[in-house]
Structure 1
């Protein structure tokens, strides 16, 4: 028994060493397009693993670039004013877009015909029209087009998914997803980010787009790509002084043949949260945050047995968007069709968000074809 365990450990160490050595010698050459989305600190402040090399940064705002260069210690020699200048001076294999959501289409229009893979921050696009153009460009030029969500890397969401598929709570009936905080202005978000986040043209909407996309993404994954039959949305503007041009509160209801979902997106909550509740016929799964998960099995009318779990971070490369992006580009990993980052999933997300916007404006329930 001990000899078998020792052999297993040696094999595992050898496999890990080979993967690590490969990433050290074969890093993904990545371009960073834009610095106005503060999620860019994710890549700029990322621990040096050796699997990704930033070969250029596009940012026309020199003052912003210099500020971040001082903060993160990168050379201003990496910074270019345009995507054309980046291509003249470096050869990225992939790019990650950290500008406004409206600019995602422009990034794909420039890089897709050059065979360069693209990852954008959530949501995929500012509108369904933009998303459809991006999808066509990605498919015509055979590139990967990823969408990155913070919640993709939550161990709790993945464990909840496994529990659901293992029938731990019975057949799915309802999902509630809550994502929000007190609002961009109250959080003191920097001016460069705030300028486009509160602009309906650059961001598509307010909280509905910014946080509603999380629930649409997770529900599409849980339902394995099934589209909802109907979408109903109600939006409000509760902080007119802070968000004069966009909604800051959105509630979205999705209905399916055998289940439904409630997506709560808010810029009005005093405490930030990203959580999910999954209701089956026999129990409930609570993904309370990134690492805390609860499983309740029903007993009688309102009784239950509960297990609590404190989950470790996911293993490399499933713990980080840039590591996974590299692994997919290198054909080391093939994602399921409707995995959280995929184009297929996020096109359905955009259909849901488009319907939610139309519903909120008309006061009507929208049916998806």
Structure 2
């Protein structure tokens, strides 16, 4: 008997990632869709041969639904994910886990109380290039990590959102909360924690609304660019830039500088991972193409979530991992707003 999955929120992330990956997974029998806009739920149910729930409560009360993907907008995650866990469902929550630490902790408390699995969809950990890079860094064949730089930028969520317009919720402060820092930045913060086996401890940043306007032609309420300086607990220092205004080409590259060489990740069109040693030797890996907004490949997130539920394993991205990344992003925004260096709380 296969698994029955519920998806809350039927926007682009559900349509392009969650639903097709559940549909392709051999252990999933049925998907139930809920969206406050019934037409959207019905459209996805038709597309993926699923059914529709008329309310969140109806979906969560269904004892045959074992797994929930929370693909709602950011401000609702703590409501839906916590409720689903307390109703005995395993939950995959989209990132960021929440907009505040207190709300994120409500989800973690619900997970502890329920004993069910909670995974957060920080999908950068799942790419082959990042997994290989972590293996190389961990082996210390290039010596210790000294410094790093990373970026994540594309032409903006209005190109990706379900209605392909400037009215996207990503531009609204009460729903998006954290702008490009919470949309793209949080992914790379989590990735740095994963790759370096370390946590960012101090940050400074500049942010701005450089170009994006809403449907009324006014500058949006959240940052469309943020440039950051980062220091980790183990003393590595590096930089990060996140942008919704990389017009022409997406950039999701990371460079790690070690004692004996350099790791370049998604820096070359041909090779997803390049190792350049101190004496100039190059090792180049063709592993896969990364998911971009224009090129949707299997992220591996859904398969990993189902695997951890089926085999009773710890999720690859835990609630605590997600809170650690959220703390850094909130620290970056505070640093940018106050023009000072912010130390990230470890509590």
The two structures have a TM-score, normalised by structure 2, of 0.86
Match 1:280 to one of 245, 258, 271: 258
The answer for the alignment partner of 1:348 in structure 2 is 324
Offset, 1:39: 4.4
In structure 2, the residue matched to 1:5 is none
Corresponding residue for residue 179 of structure 1: 152
Structure 1 residue 312 displacement after superposition: 5.0
Alignment of 1:1-369 (within 5 A): 25=1, 27-46=2-21, 48-70=24-46, 72-75=47-50, 78-89=51-62, 91-185=64-158, 187=159, 189-191=161-163, 195-224=168-197, 226-242=198-214, 244-256=220-232, 257-270=234-247, 271-288=249-266, 292-299=272-279, 304-311=280-287, 320-331=300-311, 333-334=313-314, 339=316, 341-369=317-345
Deviation at 1:352, TM superposition (A): 0.6
Q: Deviations over 1:281-322 (max 9, x none)?
A: 1111111169611000013xxxx22111111589xxx96222
CA distance in 1, matches of 2:303, 2:230: 32
Q: Secondary structure at the match of 1:175?
A: strand
Q: Retained in 1: the 8 A contact 2:123–2:299?
A: no
Helix, strand or coil at the partner of 1:125 = coil
Displacement of 1:168 after TM fit?
A: 2.4
Distance in structure 1 (CA, Å) of the matches to 2:199 and 2:85: 27
SS in 2 for 1:45: helix
Mapped partners of 1:56, 1:69: distance in 2 = 7
RMSD of aligned alpha carbons = 2.5
Q: Aligned partners of 1:87 and 1:241: how far apart in 2? A: 37
CA distance in 1, matches of 2:187, 2:262: 20
**8 Å CA contact 2:170, 2:176 repeated in 1:** yes
Could you tell me whether the CA contact under 8 Å between 2:179 and 2:224 is conserved in 1?
yes
Cα deviations by residue, 1:179-233 (Å, 9 ceiling, x for unpaired)? 1101223x26333895321111211221111111012101111333x43331112
1:306-347: per-residue Cα shift (whole Å, max 9, x none)?
A: 111111589xxx962222112211235445xxx4x2222111
Where structure 2 has 5 or more consecutive residues not aligned to the other structure, the ranges are: 291-297
CA distance in 1, matches of 2:8, 2:328: 27
Per-residue deviation, 1:118: 0.9
Structure 1 residues not aligned, in runs of 5+: 1-24
- Secondary structure of 1:229's match? strand
Give the superposition deviation at 1:55: 4.0
* Contact 1:145-1:342 at 8 Å conserved across structures: yes
- Alpha-carbon deviation of 1:117? 1.4
CA displacement at 1:60 relative to structure 2: 2.3
Contact 2:150 2:255 in 1 (8 A): yes
**Aligned partners of 1:140 and 1:192: how far apart in 2?**
39
Aligned length: 328
Q: CA–CA distance in 1 between the matches of 2:318 and 2:29?
A: 23
